[in-house]
Structure 1
Amino acid sequence: MARGQWKQWIEGWPVYRQFTDGDRTGRGAAAKSRVTGSLKARTSSADKVVKSICPYCAVGCGQNVFVKDGKVTHIEGDPDSPISRGRLCPKGSASLQLTTGSARQYQVLYRRPYGTEWETLDLDTAMDMIADRVLEARDEGWQSEVDGLVTNRTLGFASLGGATLDNEENYLLKKLYTALGAIQVENQARI
C-alpha cells in the first residue's frame, strides 16, 4: 500500500478519529463510516406522517404511519404518545402487514354452514345477511316483560367492543345496541 493510501486508511479508521476529533467516547461523528454517512432513513421519502393507534390490544400505543403516494410505507412507534413513548410490541411493530401484507383480503369471504370452501360475496349481500341475522336474533331473544315488569330487551345477541375504539366510537356503538334492545354490551378495554 502506498504512503498516501496508508494515511487515508488510518484517517478513516474510527479509533483514530475518536482520539483526533475530540469524540473520546466514540458515540458521535467518530463512529460514522463513509457508508453510514450516505444512508437515509427509510421514512425520509414519506409524503406525510399520520398519527394512529395500534389496533391490537387495550393499551392503545401511539403509532406514526408514513404514507407515500397514498400508500402506507412504514409504521413505527410515536414518541409523542404518553402511553407508549415511541415503543411498540412485536405485534404493533408488525402492523404494517395489516395494510400491505400479501395475506390481506380485499373481498368478503363466506363459508356456508357445514361448507368446506370459501366463496366470495359482494359487500351489499354480506351486509344484508348480517342485518337479517341481527334482526332474527333480536326477535328470537326478545323479552317484552320479565316477572310482570316491562323490559323490552333482547338476549339474542351481545356486543364486545374492540379495545382501540375511542370514546366517540364506543358511545355510538352503545347507542346502536341499546336502540336494538341489547343489554349485554361490553368493551374489551375493561376486561
Structure 2
Amino acid sequence: MARLSPLEWPVLRQLRSGDSLGRGPAVTSPTTRAVRPRNATADRVVQSICPYCAVGCGQLVYVKDEKVIDIEGDPNSPISRGRLCPKGSASEQLVNAPGRQKQVLYRAPKAKDWQHLDLDTAIDMIADRFIESRRNGWQELDDQGRKLRRTMGIASLGGATLDNEENYLIKKLFTAAGAIQIENQARI
C-alpha cells in the first residue's frame, strides 16, 4: 500500500481546498472518488412497473447486454415518486435468480418426476380441463325448476399483483363461464 503524503493529510486538504467544515472534497478518499454507480455501464434504461402488488410503483430497469443489471424506483412515477418497498427493491433478484424456472413443468398424476412441456401444449391442457370442469359441475336448474346457469366446478382466487384492469377482465371471464366463486387475495 502506498504511503500517504503529508500534503494529503485531511487537515491540510481541508485548508488547501477551502472546505472549512470538512464535509466536502477535503474528506473524500481516493477510493470514494473512484466509486461509480453500478448502473453507469447500462446500455439502456426501460420503464416498468413493480410486479409484487397492485400499487403499481414505477421502476427503472437498467439493461446491459440484454441482461438486467439493476432496478431502481422511477422518480417520475406519480405513484411512488422514486421509492420502492423492500420487495420492489429486490426485483432484480427475482429476474436473475439462478433457480428461476423458464420452462413449463408438468407432473402427471401419481408421477414422481416433472417433465418439460411447450407452452402451447400446457395452455391446451388447461383449457381442456377448464371446459371439462365447467361441463361436469354445470347446474342449469335448481330443485324447483328455476334457472341457475352456473358451475360449481370452477373457482377463481386472484392475486394482489394484478391491477384493476386485469382483475376486471378475470371477473368478466369467470362470470361468463358461469363461475360464482370469484375471490381476490386482497379481500381475504
Q: Same fold (TM over 0.5)?
A: yes
String of CA shifts for 1:82-129, please: whole Å, max 9, x gaps: 554434343332221322211111211111222221111122221111
| Greater alpha carbon shift after TM alignment, 115-124 vs 167-176 | 167-176
Contact 1:154 1:183 (8 Å CA) reproduced? yes
Which residue identity lines up with residue 104 of structure 1 in the other structure?
Answer: R
Change (3 A) 1:84 1:30: farther
Note the residue ranges of structure 1 that are not aligned, 5 or more in a row. Answer: none
Q: CA deviation at 1:40?
A: 1.4
2:124 corresponds in structure 1 to 128
Instruction: State the secondary structure of the residue aligned to 2:153.
Output: coil
Alignment of 1:158-177 (within 5 A): 158-177=155-174
| Conservation of the 8 A alpha-carbon contact between 2:58 and 2:74 | yes
Q: 2:26 aligns with which of 26, 30, 38?
A: 30
SS of residue matched to 2:40: coil
- Alpha-carbon distance in structure 2 between the residues aligned to 1:106 and 1:46: 24
Q: State the 1:18 CA deviation.
A: 4.7
Give the alignment's TM-score, normalised by structure 1.
Answer: 0.80
- Aligned equivalent of 1:153: 150
Secondary structure in 2 matching 1:158:
strand
SS in structure 2 opposite 1:164?
A: coil
Counterpart code for 1:107: Q
Q: Is the 8 A contact 2:54 2:163 kept in 1?
A: no
Q: Distance in 1 between matches of 2:5 and 2:161?
A: 59
Q: Deviations over 1:46-82 (max 9, x none)?
A: 2332333322344444322112233222112334445
Q: How many residues align?
A: 183
Q: TM-score normalized by structure 2?
A: 0.81
Percent identity between matched residues is: 61
Flag structure 2 segments of 5+ consecutive residues without an equivalent.
none
